[in-house]
Amino acid sequence: MAQKIIIVGGVALGSKAACRFKRLEPDSQVTIIDQDRFVSYGGCGIPFYVSGDVSDVNDLRKTSFHMLRDEAFFRNCKDIEVLTETRAERIDRQNKQIHIRRLDGTADTLDYDQLVLGTGSRPRCLMIPGADLPMVHTSANLNDAQAIKELVTKGRVERAVIIGGGFIGLEMAEALADMWEVDTTVVEYFDQIMPGFVGPQFARMAQRQMEKHGVRFFLNEEVKAIEGTDSVEAVVTDKRRLQADLVIIAIGATPNVELARESGLRLGPTGAIAVDEHMRTSDPAIYSGGDCAEIRNLVTGQPGYFPLGSMANRQGRVIGTNLAGGSAEFRGAVGSFVVKTFEAALAGTGLSLERARRAGFDAVSVQVAQLDRAHFYPDKAMIHLELVVEKKSRRILGIQGFGEEGDAVVGRINMVAAMLEDRPTIDRLSNVELAYSPPFSSAMDVLNALANTAENMLDGRYQPIDADGFAEKWVHGNGNLLILDCRARQDGESFAKKYPDRWINIPQDELRQRLAEIPADKDLILLCNTGVRSYEAQLNLRNMGIADPVSVQGGIVTLGKCGLDL
């Protein structure tokens, strides 16, 4: 029997669910309701439209075969009715009706057999003076995108302040600073960018990459007010006053759940709509997904909130299948992400070390730096990875990466993301089979090396110190500190001459012959380019009776990326 399906929200989840369902039940009636004038667009492309990488805003609304996804497209190509600039005001669950109001003020009541809520999210607001001034924007939809793009293309923006150092904040900072050469500053409340998603060292790598292109950062600062009369003039924090012509607020998203709450649907502990594995709400006739819904975190097993466009599309397909009587499942997510930082990429999946410990895991992390391709291949770049593992079980909880070849970084992150639901241990990653050819990877891929390093650490063979630990000892350590540089003379000798009281250079292959030159009473730190030779030195020294030296994770390459100028 033909059904009447109503879908509230037509950006990612709603349009995907509608199209999937109509392919399965072409005789049923589907209506999409959206309060905006645009539907079915690539919202994650907004920063790249502002930057100029995407020249036409309608490119974000087109299919891969260049058809504009507007009301006529859905009506003619999909047999789906789309009501734009129409607000869903109330759900009458008992009578299976939804009350709507159009922009012109007219109201109507629509019957449904099944209902989908894809109401999305909205940007978090700052409740501070001046937040409602002209030239204060978010970047939540195409209307915002067009407004910001018009301002910069007309030369009305010389100085921009972005409040928030997360995904959107970083992408918008690059968009303004790169193509338009806007003097751009990011203000972040926490003491690092991408808080919770990556550790402090990887955050600094990404921050320094952006600083090279002129983006300024002020961390651990609270925005108190936005000043201006007829427009924005300055942003005031608890530490400074920043002049600005444009302010973009990017401090996260809040799920739009008012319609669900008022209709009595159950909300989860994250504040989003609770759904089961079939994306069904507490009402069996109502489904939900995307930015307004809560799903299971497949690493912690707890409810999670993942407002990501790619996830909304996949959930939409599951919902479309189930509207037609299927039993498709969406079991949850591990939280994979990537953000572009000019020529580099910062990516991750699963839990950072901080979040793992906060979730109750006895977790540790280990880092490696390695070339993303065979060392003898001419085109190659360094990739930095951090693996988060549970000590006792050796279960992998997450991974983060940074590198100049974004595809190489994302490829490694995605490999681990595909495993996480199965609760893999480091043994599995150590022996995971990956496609190999010198132009694409190393014979022992960086992922294999990362797992092996974690195993060596957990087995007690490898005693690492990270960049922050090294910096603390280097800056604040006592006179007992000694750096043993295991690199070749042409690399290490200059440092030994620069710091004669704290640095000696003994190449790793000469250690056995020159053991007498290593003082036994020093706080010894072993260092090489990426950490491989210093680990070998650690094993050799331990075998020769020097048991306490630590080895710098990722070597001097990682120290430099983290901003330690030696």
pLDDT digits over 297-310, tens only?
999 999 999 998 78
pLDDT at 347: 98
pLDDT at 149: 96
Question: Rounded mean pLDDT of 530-543?
Answer: 94
Compute the distance between CA of residue 289 and CA of residue 274 in angstroms, rounded to an integer: 9
Of 142, 149, 132, 249, give the one whose Cα is nearest residue 189. Answer: 249
Answer yes or no: are the C-beta atoms of 123 and 137 closer than 8 Å. Answer: no
Look-up: residue for tokens 């924005």?
232
Report the percentage of the chain scoring pLDDT > 70. 100
Number of C-alpha atoms within 13 angstroms, CB side, residue 507? 7
Question: Rounded mean pLDDT of 440-467?
Answer: 96
Its pTM stands at 0.95
Question: Rounded mean pLDDT of 314-324?
Answer: 98
pLDDT digits over 189-232, tens only?
999 999 999 999 999 999 999 999 999 999 999 999 999 999 99
Annotate 223-235 with b (16+ C-beta within 10 A) or e (fewer): bbebbbeeebbbb
Q: What is residue 35's three-state secondary structure?
A: coil
* Residues recognised as catalytic: 44
pLDDT above 80 for 547: no
pLDDT at 308: 84
pLDDT at 565: 87
pLDDT at 477: 78
pLDDT at 566: 87
Residues in the chain: 566
Question: Rounded mean pLDDT of 399-418?
Answer: 97
pLDDT at 92: 98
Question: Rounded mean pLDDT of 68-75?
Answer: 96
The partner residues of 75 in beta bridges, in order of sequence, read: none
Compute the distance between CA of residue 196 and CA of residue 181 in angstroms, rounded to an integer: 30
pLDDT digits over 90-108, tens only?
999 999 999 999 999 999 9
Question: Rounded mean pLDDT of 173-186?
Answer: 96
Poorest-confidence range of 26-40, 51-65, 385-399, 535-549?
535-549
